[in-house]
Amino acid sequence: MSNQPEIQSTSRVGDVLFGGAAKIASGGIVLIVLIIGIFLLSNAWQPLLDNSANFFTSTEFRASTKPPRFGVAALLWTTLLTSAVALAIAVPVAIGLALLLTQYVTGRVASAIAFVIDLLAAVPSVIFGLWGIKIFGPAIQPSAHLIENLLGWIPLFGDGQVASPGTVFTASLVLAIMILPIITALTRDVFAQTPRETIEGALALGATRWEVTRLAVLPYGRSGAIAAAMLGLGRALGETIAVMLILSKVARFDVSVFSGGETFASIIARNAPEFDTPYKAGVYISAGLVLFVLTFAVNALARVVAERGKAKS
Amino acid sequence: MSKRIEVRDLDVYYGKFHAVNQVNLTVQPRTVTAFIGPSGCGKSTVLRTLNRMHEVIPGAYCTGQVLLDGTDLYAPGVDPVAVRRIVGMVFQRPNPFPSMSIYDNVASGLKLNGERNKQVLDEAVETALKGANLWKEVKDRLDKAGMGLSGGQQQRLCIARAIAVKPEVLLMDEPCSALDPISTLAVEDLIHELKESYTVVIVTHNMQQAARVSDETAFFNLKAQGEPGHLVEIGPTEQIFHNPTQQATEDYITGRFG
Amino acid sequence: MTTPLNLRRPSGARAFKNSLATFGVWAAVAIATLPLLWILASVTIKGAPLLFTVGADHTIVCVDESDLRVPTSQCGTEEDAKGGTTRADGLRWAFPSGGKHVAVGEKVNLYRVDTAYPAADHIVYVDSDGAGEARFFSLQWWTSSLGNATSKDSQGGALQAIYGTLLLGLLTAAIAVPGGMLGAIFLVEYGRGTRAARVVSFMVDILTGVPSIVAALFVYAMFITTFGMKRSAIATVVALALLMLPMVLRSTEEMLKLVPDSLREAAYALGVPKWKTILRIVVPTSFNGILTGVVLGIARVMGETAPLLILIGYAKYLYLDPFGDSMGALPTMISDGISVPDGDAGSDRVWAAALTLILIVMVLNLLARRIAAKTKL
């Protein structure tokens, strides 16, 4: 009886210490996300006040002039355009891959294909950038010119005055390849959870493989696939080095996919050597802040969509 | 509308595992035939070979013949998809398509066949739902989700979905095992009516149910775990339950094992 | 009475749609596989020679039409030779023959390359235009830093970048692994089902989605602007740890969830306190799975570039000090040299750096698969 309290107290000390550490680590994670926002905002505050251009509508971005003149309109356009084109290409391919892996093949073939996708996910983005600008970009130039000639009358496909392959077009295609694995992996997980009974119900009606997919798999996995696409979008919006290596700088902003330009991430990374004063850095941090808010919103929305999908089924 | 099924020298394998050995049986048109037997005896497997659903499992195959009015379902050039069109199936758990309304669930098979005419679809849906004894309960909410129905209603919805395409044969794989007694009664009543127009084969764990609904009963057994299952005997339900020819059947019926 | 049964494959629109879908999903495999093979092939072809060879101080040897050697002074300049009298089309590799002279192509009649190193392990690298460069086996790439080599020098290795990449990866793991594991232990063992756990879980998702450039800017804003510190490897490590932390946390969480509750209960029943149960039983049981996540996380951060651009200067010399303001790393070696024109030695080094980085990352990935295959759960 007498030593019981002692035993209890030692175990409690251990639990308090260890459980406390676990709680602190977790609390720290919550804190980090909040602090990121606060620090970015506080550093960008003064340059934002001094800004002599409209932050939301200007396409200029000059940190060195006094006062600085910078706006995010062009960055926002290029960022959204590259990501949107990338998504438009990657999502159908990813859904195709996810369907193949869950409905069409099994065993060794499936694991071989999954292995290829894992390897693609493992390739560092700087290598995607290098390959994109040196090999892939030049290789797709002829098709880019073809589209430009056919659809050039639409401003979106107009002559962007960029001679090199460093266009939004090239960057988007490379981005599409980069976000393919993540969207595939997430979509595949959702499709794999389609209840067996539903699939067999469709089969027993005499449905072909595609009809089974359309009746059972796609409706079941729709919200999961949307969430996966949004997480892919989050990746594409924030992708830095590959886009920076590929996109060429342009003198004047142009909406065309055959123009160059800068995304939020690429302009920050490219101008990192200019961060000689906190003030100048603050100008670029303001762009980072917008990117943070953008990715935060997309990721939060993806989570909501995924949760809602889970709740429904 | 209903066909005779003849199974000849059927052997089923899952990869290397020999699941069912040498089954020979005949199912008459417009009858209900029940498959009974202990777990693992291959009764569900044999049922699934009747519309080639066992092929869904990777590595599964069978040898022998399954003749539907003389046409071999396993002849070269026969497409499993086409087989399942004429041999419908109802499963253990009700499995309506989750994203579809009641109406769309019943119409789904017809739509797959390319039927687009609204009037034809409306009539077929009504006929099928009436045939499944569900029409009165759902006729005012055909556009509501099929998942919103009770378990027993969902199962009858699945039966309606299966008979909407007017199959030759209807297979039922323990259709009442996930249902409460009242829903079970409703489905059993329905089975009685279905045999007016269909050949019905039902797998059941419940011997009373087999006795209640079937005209013929087939008893499956296995010698030991890991051994292939086989057909012990098939005959009129009355005879199997009261005067079986095999000792194993009698032991099973009287509850000595299984 | 019996109508004949039609059991043929459905034809028409249904069959067409089905075939189209099958074609589509297989096309998706092609679309995913092609870039991977293309990337691996181009990086290997362009980068591999440098990893095991180095440019020699080669001698140009001139021969006349009848293959006799003539004094170098009579054969014009190297530029003349490139002008058209040489041919080595399609030939990219040639091996020394006879020990002295090296044939680089059948029609070479004026300009030849002599390795000046007659040993059999010499490799002659011949450009497609016939301009030759002698290479011989060397591990210089792995053993010396780039140093003062200009973009036209073929000498110089990548030791400083390899060291930097490995060091950054290990230091990052040193921070992110304990943090991520503790967070996961909180989520699974202490906070399961609580409101706090949901908030943490949500924030981890958000942190997973934070772009690396934003994490880097945050570290810059906090450490450099606000606290007045200098750029350093340590600052970079903090940013990389922010990226790795959620990866480790999620994979650990998944693994801990797989540990059956019966195991925990068995330990509690023996009177083992909770923290000891976690440390002695839960974590060891899922150790292989956790390690897999850690190795994959390290592989991921080693390929990160954006934080390095912002938080540390790129160095061509080997600096060992993690508190110094510059350090080489393979990703920045690539981005630093990307503007070197094709054909210059510096451009080859970019590809070699890419190959080295891919090799490190792939080895780690394969290692992770190995570990995962051995998992006890």
Which of C190, C206, C300, C302 to probe the A interface (max A CBs under 10 A)? C206
A:C CB pairs within 8 Å: 277
A208 touches chain C (CB under 8 A): yes
Q: Just give the CATH number of B5-92+169-253.
A: 3.40.50.300
B95 touches chain A (CB under 8 A): yes
Among A44-48, A171-175, B1-5, the range scoring the smallest mean pLDDT is B1-5
Tally the domains of chain A.
1
The DSSP H or E segment spanning A65 is none
Query: Phi and psi (nearest 5°) for B9?
Result: 50, 45
Q: Which residues contact B242 (CB under 8 A, 6 or more apart)?
A: none
Which burial class, exposed, middle or buried, applies to C29 when counting CB atoms under 10 A from its CB (0-12, 13-18, 19+)?
buried
Which residues of chain B does A222 touch, with a Cβ-Cβ cutoff of 8 Å? 99
pLDDT digits (tens, 9 = 90+) for B52-63: 999 888 889 999
Burial letters B66-91, b for 16+ CB under 10 A, else e: bbbbebebbeeebbbbbbbbbbbbbb
In whole angstroms, what is the distance from residue A32 CA to residue A55 CA? 27
Token representation of residue B100: 């579809």
Contact C341, C186 (CB under 8 A): no
Is A246 within the bounds of a domain? yes
Owner of token pair 């003030």: A279
Nearest CA in chain B to A213: B97
Is A2 within the bounds of a domain? no
Nearest CA in chain B to A197: B95
Chains sharing 3 or more CB pairs under 8 A with chain A = B, C
A20 touches chain C (CB under 8 A): no
C36 touches chain A (CB under 8 A): yes
Q: Chain C 81-140, CB below 8 Å of chain A: which residues?
A: none
CA distances from A159 to A260, A263, B251, C119, C350 (A): 11, 19, 86, 56, 31
pLDDT digits (tens, 9 = 90+) for B116-126: 899 999 999 99
* pTM given for the model: 0.85
B93 touches chain A (CB under 8 A): yes
Chain B closest-CA separation from residue C32 CA (Å) = 25
CA distances from A1 to A4, A6, C273 (A): 5, 10, 19
Residue A159 has what pLDDT?
82
Query: Helical H runs in C53-158?
Result: 78-80, 140-143
Q: Give the nearest partner residue to A238 out of C186, C214, C310, using CB atoms.
A: C214
A208 touches chain B (CB under 8 A): yes
Is A47 within the bounds of a domain? no
- Average pLDDT value for residue range A168-187: 96
In whole angstroms, what is the distance from residue A38 CA to residue A247 CA? 30
Token representation of residue C224: 């450099």
Chain A closest-CA separation from residue C377 CA (Å) = 19
**What is the overall mean pLDDT for chain B?**
90
C317 touches chain A (CB under 8 A): no
Q: What is the 3-state secondary structure (H, E, C) of C111-131?
A: EEEECCCCCCCEEEEECCCCC
B56 touches chain A (CB under 8 A): yes
pLDDT digits (tens, 9 = 90+) for A93-127: 999 999 999 999 988 999 999 999 999 999 999 99
Chain B closest-CA separation from residue C8 CA (Å) = 5
Chain A closest-CA separation from residue B114 CA (Å) = 12
Contact B202, B118 (CB under 8 A): no
C242 touches chain A (CB under 8 A): yes
Q: Which residues contact B179 (CB under 8 A, 6 or more apart)?
A: B151, B152, B155, B187
Which residues of chain B does C17 touch, with a Cβ-Cβ cutoff of 8 Å? none
Burial letters B215-241, b for 16+ CB under 10 A, else e: bbbbbbbbeeeeebbbbbbbbebeebb
The interface predicted TM-score (ipTM) is: 0.89
Query: Helical H runs in chain C?
Result: 13-52, 78-80, 140-143, 159-185, 195-209, 212-219, 233-258, 261-269, 274-277, 283-285, 287-302, 306-311, 330-337, 345-373
Residue C102 has what pLDDT?
36
Say which CATH number the domain at A238 has. 1.10.3720.10
CA distances from C367 to A117, A185, C51, C292, C356 (A): 17, 20, 22, 8, 16
**What is the overall mean pLDDT for chain A?**
89
Token representation of residue B146: 């099929």
DSSP result, C252-294: HHHHHHHS-HHHHHHHHHTT--HHHHIIIIIHHHTHHHHHHHH
Among A204-213, A287-296, C53-62, the range scoring the smallest mean pLDDT is C53-62
Q: Do A198 and B58 touch (CB under 8 A)?
A: no
Token representation of residue C132: 């030759």
- Average pLDDT value for residue range A216-243: 94
How many Cα atoms are found within 13 Å in the side-chain-facing hemisphere of C66?
1
Residues of chain B with pLDDT under 50: none
In whole angstroms, what is the distance from residue C75 CA to residue C109 CA? 11
In whole angstroms, what is the distance from residue A269 CA to residue A246 CA? 13
B78 touches chain A (CB under 8 A): no
Q: Do B71 and C4 touch (CB under 8 A)?
A: yes
Contact C328, C146 (CB under 8 A): yes
Q: Do C29 and A278 touch (CB under 8 A)?
A: no
In whole angstroms, what is the distance from residue B214 CA to residue B236 CA? 9
In whole angstroms, what is the distance from residue A168 CA to residue A154 CA? 16
Q: Determine the straight-line distance between the first and last CA of chain A, rounded to whole angstroms.
A: 53
Residue B238 has what pLDDT?
92
Residue A263 has what pLDDT?
95
Q: Do A198 and B56 touch (CB under 8 A)?
A: no
Look at the alpha carbons of B77, B81, B83, B86 in this order and tell me if their dihedral is positive or negative: negative
Q: Which residues contact B94 (CB under 8 A, 6 or more apart)?
A: B151, B154, B155, B157, B158, B178
In whole angstroms, what is the distance from residue C136 CA to residue C94 CA? 12
Is A114 within the bounds of a domain? yes
Residue C205 has what pLDDT?
86
Chain B closest-CA separation from residue C22 CA (Å) = 15
Under DSSP, is residue A44 helix (H, G, I), strand (E, B) or coil?
A: helix
Contact A268, A241 (CB under 8 A): no
pLDDT digits (tens, 9 = 90+) for C200-224: 888 888 889 899 999 999 999 999 9
Q: Do B78 and C8 touch (CB under 8 A)?
A: yes
Strands B216-222 and B32-36: parallel
Chain B closest-CA separation from residue A197 CA (Å) = 6
Strand partners, C69: C63
A:B CB pairs within 8 Å: 70
Q: Do C8 and B73 touch (CB under 8 A)?
A: no
Owner of token pair 């969509």: A305
Q: Do B83 and C7 touch (CB under 8 A)?
A: yes
Q: Do C275 and A284 touch (CB under 8 A)?
A: no
In whole angstroms, what is the distance from residue C240 CA to residue C298 CA? 10
CA distances from B144 to B98, B105, B106 (A): 11, 11, 12
Which burial class, exposed, middle or buried, applies to A60 when counting CB atoms under 10 A from its CB (0-12, 13-18, 19+)?
middle
In total, chain A counts a number of residues equal to 313
Owner of token pair 């070699």: C352
Q: Determine the straight-line distance between the first and last CA of chain B, rounded to whole angstroms.
A: 36
Residues of chain C with pLDDT under 70: 1-4, 10, 55-136, 376-377
Residue A75: pLDDT over 70: yes
C159-375 fold: MetI-like fold (1.10.3720)
Tally of CB atoms within 10 A around C224: 20
Token representation of residue A202: 């469709």
A220: closest CA among A183, A188, A186, A195? A195
Q: Do B86 and C5 touch (CB under 8 A)?
A: yes
Chains sharing 3 or more CB pairs under 8 A with chain B = A, C
pLDDT digits (tens, 9 = 90+) for A244-254: 999 998 888 88
Sheet holding C122-126, edge to edge: C53-55, C132-137, C122-126, C93-94
Query: Phi and psi (nearest 5°) for A61?
Result: -150, 90
Which residues of chain B does A194 touch, with a Cβ-Cβ cutoff of 8 Å? none
Amino acid at B46: V
In total, chain B counts a number of residues equal to 258
Which residues of chain A does C305 touch, with a Cβ-Cβ cutoff of 8 Å? 124-126, 240-241, 269
In whole angstroms, what is the distance from residue A111 CA to residue A107 CA? 6
Contact A103, A188 (CB under 8 A): no
Token representation of residue B25: 């049986």
C343 touches chain A (CB under 8 A): no
Is A212 within the bounds of a domain? yes
Residue C376 has what pLDDT?
65
Chains sharing 3 or more CB pairs under 8 A with chain C = A, B
A275: closest CA among C213, C129, B168? C213
B30 touches chain A (CB under 8 A): no
